[in-house]
Structure 1
Amino acid sequence: MLQIVFTIGVLFWLLHNTNWQSLSQRFAEIRPWWFVAAMASYALNLSVSVIRWRIILLAMERTAPILWLLRLNWVGAYFNQVLPGAVSGDVIRAWYTRHQTGSMPLALAAVFGDRFMGMGALIVIAAVAFALGGARVGLLPQMGWTIGILLFAYVLIIILILSPLLNFLEKISGKLGDKLHDIRLGMSALLCHRLALSGTIVLSFAIQCISVLTFWLLAHALGEAPDAVALWVVWPVISLFLALPISFAGWGLREGLMVFYLGYLHMGHDQALALSLLLGFTMVLTSLPGALLWIGLHRHHEAPPDLQSQTGAH
């Protein structure tokens, strides 16, 4: 309920200060082929990220058919858009792969690892672009501190996962302690598996470059020519903030941050809002096949024995 209130409040404030005629005119003049290309780019993003997820499962000595994971990735993307919380679809992906991993905690670890590697690539892209951005990045208020804090938090999480500081989880009695311990072991398996880690890092940068491409295509669909700083600093940072569970599927939060940051790069309120709304609509429309793929999924979620890895202990 708080997420819904936050989303409605921010959108009401933004739309209250919007020139409706200008906003509607921008949508009326959308270049259709650029928009279709952006949808294809987002679909490519969802498809390529499946490979990273499967590599992570292999690092944990588990496996699942690539087409099964592709179906679940699309289902997860759909539920990320229609359910409260920033990771609702991720939990669903873990639920339907618990039979391949042998336990729900390991399934969560694999999905969390997938999300975690993507966030790491976003932070690095934003940090490098900020360092190379010159005078243009100086227009963005407190962006250096924001990226620095995100980078510090990310490194701290890696250290905690790999260090013995979290061994106390083993001593927590009951199922909660066991589950937290298994999630940590699953993440450690990925971070200690050099080949899998290298593969997921490369794929993560490729996936995030596709995300930037989607942003660029949608800007051109509206007839905008976005600043390079908007592409490589602002959009990655906004994508990271969208992981926070404070708005409904990112709506409101994305629009507020877009209007705030792009305003400093000389993009008008109506322009930035139109771009952000179009981004949201693109994600919803492209992920809609996930609703159809979810139908009947419960009848197939228990994979045949030959598809469930019995190797390794968690």
Structure 2
Amino acid sequence: MTRTPTIAPGEPGLAPVHKRRSHWRLLAQVLFTLALLAWLLHQTDWQALATRILQANPFWLLAASLAYACNLSISALRWQVILHALERRAPLPWLLRLNWVGAYFNQVLPGAVSGDVLRAWYTRHQTGATTLALGAVFGDRFIGLGALMAIAATAFLFGGQKVGLLPQMGWTIALLLCAYAAVVILILSPALQFLGTRAGRWGGKLHDIRLSMAALLRHRRDFALAAIISLAVQGLSILTFWLLARSLGEYPSAAAIWLVWPVISLFLALPISFAGWGLREGLMVFYLSHLGMSTDQALALSLLLGFTILLTSLPGALLWLTLCDPHPGRARL
């Protein structure tokens, strides 16, 4: 059945309304970020915080940056596997390049998925449809979050006494698992077939993305391979966290490494702060304070983590400047 858009693409007033909403959303994210950072900085000794960051060991800092660079490189392989499950092909060097570009824009643009949207845009000519490209990128992100969920849940079950020091962690893990399972059920459920015919143009796009994700989840071999790669990618993320803690002379507990950081990473997927700033620092101080870290120790670690990710992602800006769309206008929406 032919889909009938509820709003024509060129309908007057649509773009201004969308822009107004984007501006208000950006303003809310910036204010939320600034408010959290201001509150945290008010609670800590600025001089002690600055001293900790400036005295960070450069060897461990370099090792952390290399670990994050490996994270970006290996996750490009996961993206290629997901495209293979959707019966699409893309050269690994091209995907690696786009991964770096996406990582950079995730750090400098509002929201948590700005870089992911850009990655989908530049692979639409290889998938044949923008919705399929979005489905592949969403699958890439979704499987990565699933690996984090598995690591956090395992660490919670076998974390020992330290886990009991973290307030409401059991409920947090349970809610995250339920939310993730609900998304999987919605993706696979035939109950959402109505999106293709009754929900208008954008509902049709969501339906196409859902079908792409469902195809990936049913392709067991590629899905298993993507899951294994995701565990390696998240292992590198945890390694980055540990290396930065070592650069500050800290020895975080196993609960901090295998449970707190994965849980914080899951929350950073929420588009409620600017590129995760503020939210990451608030959660880091909240959780690590229950594991014996002072506010300035946890805040120094969080800020150093944010700056390391940002600086390591900077080559993505140069790569983006040299990108060109090989087949402009070729892919359908």
- With the shorter chain as reference, the TM-score category is over 0.9
Alpha-carbon distance in 2 for matches of 1:173, 1:272 = 46
Counting only pairs closer than 5 Å after superposition, residues 112-191 of structure 1 correspond to structure 2 as 112-172=138-198, 174-191=200-217
Alpha-carbon distance in 2 for matches of 1:156, 1:6 = 28
Identity of aligned residues (%): 65
Compute the TM-score of the two structures, normalised by the length of structure 1: 0.95
| Runs of 4+, deviation exceeding 2 Å | 172-175, 299-303
Alignment partner of 1:284: what SS? Answer: helix
Give 1:226's aligned residue. Answer: 252
Say which of 24, 27, 30 aligns to 1:4. Answer: 30
Q: Does the 8 Å CA contact 1:11/1:255 hold for their aligned counterparts?
A: yes
Give 1:311's aligned residue. Answer: none
Displacement of 1:172: 2.3
Say which of 244, 249, 256 aligns to 2:275. Answer: 249
Displacement of 1:173: 5.1
Give 1:302's aligned residue. Answer: 327
Alpha-carbon distance in 1 for matches of 2:298, 2:308 = 15
Q: Does the 8 Å CA contact 2:104/2:314 hold for their aligned counterparts?
A: yes
Flag the 1:103–1:140 CA change in 2: closer, same or farther, 3 A: same
Alpha-carbon distance in 2 for matches of 1:42, 1:296 = 23
Give 1:34's aligned residue. Answer: 60
Alpha-carbon distance in 1 for matches of 2:62, 2:174 = 36
Alpha-carbon distance in 1 for matches of 2:326, 2:201 = 23
Alpha-carbon distance in 2 for matches of 1:64, 1:72 = 11
Displacement of 1:154: 0.8
Counting only pairs closer than 5 Å after superposition, residues 191-206 of structure 1 correspond to structure 2 as 191-206=217-232
Identify unmatched segments of 5+ residues in structure 1: 309-313
Q: Does 1:214 align with 2:253?
A: no
- CA RMSD of superposed structures (Å): 1.4
**Number of equivalenced pairs:** 305
Q: Does the 8 Å CA contact 1:97/1:301 hold for their aligned counterparts?
A: no
Deviations 1:107-152 (A, max 9, x none): 0000000000000011110011000012110100000000011111
Give 1:21's aligned residue. Answer: 47
Q: Does the 8 Å CA contact 1:41/1:210 hold for their aligned counterparts?
A: yes
Q: For residue 186 of structure 2, what is the amino acid of its counterpart?
A: L
Alpha-carbon distance in 1 for matches of 2:327, 2:299 = 43
Alignment partner of 2:234: what SS? Answer: helix
Deviations 1:5-45 (A, max 9, x none): 00000000111111111111111211101000000000000
Q: Does 1:262 align with 2:279?
A: no
Deviations 1:156-200 (A, max 9, x none): 211111121111112225422321121011001110001101101
Identify unmatched segments of 5+ residues in structure 2: 1-26
Displacement of 1:301: 4.1
Give 2:315's aligned residue. Answer: 289
Alpha-carbon distance in 2 for matches of 1:272, 1:302 = 47
Say which of 74, 79, 85 aligns to 1:48. Answer: 74
Q: Does the 8 Å CA contact 2:122/2:325 hold for their aligned counterparts?
A: no
Deviations 1:62-119 (A, max 9, x none): 1111111111000000000000001000000001111111111110000000000000
Alpha-carbon distance in 2 for matches of 1:79, 1:117 = 20
Compute the TM-score of the two structures, normalised by the length of structure 2: 0.89
